[in-house]
Amino acid sequence: MNPNTPQEIRRIPSVDRLLAGLDADIEAHGRHLVTACVRAELAAVRSAARDGLPVPDNAKLLAAIRRRAEESAAPRLRPVFNLSGTVLHTNLGRAQLAELAIERMAQAARAPCALEYDLADGGRGDRDDLIAPLLVELLGADLSHADDLAATVVNNNAAAVLLALNALAQGKEAVVSRGELVEIGGAFRIPDVMRRAQVRLVEVGTTNRTHARDYAEAIGPKTALLMKVHTSNYAVSGFVKSVADVEVAALARAHGLPFLVDLGSGTLADFAALGLPSEPTPQQALAAGADLVTFSGDKLLGGPQAGLIVGRKALIAKIKKNPLKRALRVGKTTLAALEATLQLYRDPDRLCARLPTLRLLTRQEADISAAAARLQPLLQAALGPAVSVSVQTCASQIGSGALPVERLPSAALVLRCERFAGKRGGHALRALEAAFRALPTPVIGRLHDDAYHLDLRTLEAQDESLFIAQLSHFAPSVS
Ligand SMILES: *Cc1c(COP(=O)(O)O)cnc(C)c1O
């Protein structure tokens, strides 16, 4: 290629001339953004022109600038289709909120709200009071000590554990079974959290077996609490033993120590009654004698990201006085969504219909298979003969560490191809996966067994039309 002559390079229009043709874009995205896009596009064109590439005409330049501006103005936090087979996918935002929670969040965001304001007497209020009575009502229903329960809310369950440990055991020891020193994705590890909370971890038992006497022998003058951690994201099987909550609770009581249970997920619903694999609830932990339980808002509870701490009034009071509480507290939109989510639990009959997490987890295989049968021919037609689309039964995971071994029967569209977008073999499959990720609403599936799987458990009927509409984007890249 010949380098362009200086005259040709001088044909490149000025920033101002281009801006004059971009009134609508300036109106939509603002002058700053559009000007930056003009400069970026011109820099790219100049550099290409120096290498001998032709200078595009004005219409092409304006179109390229428009594309840059639109891309740049679009949100980075984009909605996606989670068809990965993991219902509560941490990297894809975990729980989808109930409509009521979404409405209340918007309301809290839009107008001033009584976040820390007592409307009865006009004095200062406590943001925890928006949620605590509701939590105590839901968790304490069958407990004899319900009137000794209180609650507080922080940013996530990791924060709840950090805060509880620091408030109750700073400079002292906490006793935990070796079998429960969990690591959750994203670098939450019990030993590290202990260190950060300035608590000395006393490990008892072995990886596979811990006995009540192990806890008993570890208790000394520096012991501040006994702790159990729900091994939420793994299962040890075979020659195993752990100590039941009631036994640890009895030991703690005998020594006058608080007993803290970190549940991780902690659903409030009766999973067995819903036909789901059973999962320990905070109600059960409290009934078994836990003095404090911590659990996430956005795992099985199906609410916003939050960490909930429920337990004895005196312990909650101590936790709330800790300066870390101020650093870890949640904002008004989170509280609005959490309150709405918890209110839904008052009506168990309609809970599954209204709470997306439970609606998705309890979706029947027949319903999912019917959706797969509906979508298979449409996807096959959109992708053409190079890709084979079949329907297969599959097994969804609950995700976010909950019930790591259990699977829910589901149905998937399974895509196989030898060639796609000019690529072959494994490269073809990865190109196919990338093409789904590049759709206007990106589709996240799973590569597995030389095929690309789209688990349809999490594609609800109301979203099918959007999924189908964007299949037209495949037409040009197929073969
Ligand atoms: C998920 C989990 C956490 C961390 O909760 P986040 O809400 O993600 O901060 C802590 N402990 C256990 C046992 C968990 O499963």
pLDDT digit string (tens) for 114-172? 999 999 999 999 999 999 999 999 999 889 999 999 999 999 999 999 999 999 999 99
Question: What value does the mean pLDDT take over residues 410-420?
Answer: 95
Q: Check whether 473 has a pLDDT greater than 80.
A: yes
How far apart are the CA of 132 and the centre of ligand 1, in A? 20
- Which ligand 1 atom is nearest residue 229's CA? 13
Quote the pLDDT of residue 231: 87
How far apart are the CA of 189 and the centre of ligand 1, in A? 9
* CA gap 280, 79 in Å, rounded: 31
Q: Is 476 within 8 Å of 420 (Cβ atoms)?
A: no
Quote the pLDDT of residue 3: 59
Q: Check whether 479 has a pLDDT greater than 50.
A: no
- Which residues, at least 6 apart from 18, have a Cβ–Cβ distance to it below 8 Å? 38, 42, 58, 61, 62, 65
Could you read off the pLDDT of 202-226 as tens digits, one per residue?
999 988 999 999 999 999 999 999 9
Could you read off the pLDDT of 292-311 as tens digits, one per residue?
999 999 999 999 999 999 99
Of the pLDDT bands very low, low, confident and very high (cuts 50, 70, 90), residue 184 is: confident
Q: What angle do CA 10, 16, 18 make, to 5 degrees?
A: 75
Quote the pLDDT of residue 236: 83
- Which residues, at least 6 apart from 192, have a Cβ–Cβ distance to it below 8 Å? none
Quote the pLDDT of residue 399: 84
Of the pLDDT bands very low, low, confident and very high (cuts 50, 70, 90), residue 404 is: low
How far apart are the CA of 60 and the centre of ligand 1, in A? 51
* CA gap 287, 341 in Å, rounded: 23
Q: Ramachandran region of residue 155, left (φ > 0), alpha (ψ -120 to 50) or beta?
A: alpha
Decide whether any atom of ligand 1 lies within 6 Å of the 280 Cβ.
no
What angle in degrees, to the nearest 10, is found between the helix axes of 313-321 and 157-169? 100
Q: Check whether 1 has a pLDDT greater than 60.
A: no
* CA gap 14, 21 in Å, rounded: 12
- Which ligand 1 atom is nearest residue 160's CA? 9
- Which ligand 1 atom is nearest residue 186's CA? 8
How far apart are the CA of 378 and the centre of ligand 1, in A? 40
- Which residues, at least 6 apart from 142, have a Cβ–Cβ distance to it below 8 Å? 283, 287
Quote the pLDDT of residue 234: 79
Positive or negative: CA dihedral 349, 350, 351, 357: positive
* Cα 376 to Cα 207, 379, 380, distances in angstroms: 46, 5, 6
Q: Check whether 478 has a pLDDT greater than 60.
A: no
* CA gap 152, 164 in Å, rounded: 10
Query: What's the distance, CA 180 to chain centroid?
Result: 23
- Pocket of ligand 1, candidates 156, 157, 334: which has the most ligand atoms within 8 Å of its Cβ, to mutate? 157
Residue nearest ligand 1's atom 3 by CA:
264
Strand 149-154 versus strand 307-312 pairing type: antiparallel
Residue nearest ligand 1's atom 11 by CA:
264
Q: What angle do CA 243, 275, 354 make, to 5 degrees?
A: 110
* CA gap 188, 28 in Å, rounded: 42
Beta strands in 78-122 (DSSP E): 81-82, 86-88
* CA gap 225, 218 in Å, rounded: 11
How far apart are the CA of 149 and the centre of ligand 1, in A? 22
Tokens encoding 471: 């299949």
Q: Check whether 71 has a pLDDT greater than 50.
A: yes
Between residues 232 and 324, the one the model is more confident about: 324
Decide whether any atom of ligand 1 lies within 6 Å of the 232 Cβ.
yes
How far apart are the CA of 219 and the centre of ligand 1, in A? 26
Q: Check whether 89 has a pLDDT greater than 50.
A: yes
How far apart are the CA of 399 and the centre of ligand 1, in A? 12
Residue nearest ligand 1's atom 10 by CA:
264
Question: What value does the mean pLDDT take over residues 5-27?
Answer: 89
Could you read off the pLDDT of 333-387 as tens digits, one per residue?
999 999 999 999 999 999 999 999 999 999 999 999 999 999 999 999 999 999 9
Look over the chain and give the mean of its residue pLDDT values, rounded to a whole number. 94
Percent of the chain with pLDDT strictly greater than 70: 97
Q: Is 379 helix (H, G, I), strand (E, B) or coil?
A: helix
Quote the pLDDT of residue 306: 98
* CA gap 409, 229 in Å, rounded: 28
Q: Is 3 within 8 Å of 51 (Cβ atoms)?
A: yes
Residue nearest ligand 1's atom 7 by CA:
157
Residue nearest ligand 1's atom 13 by CA:
264
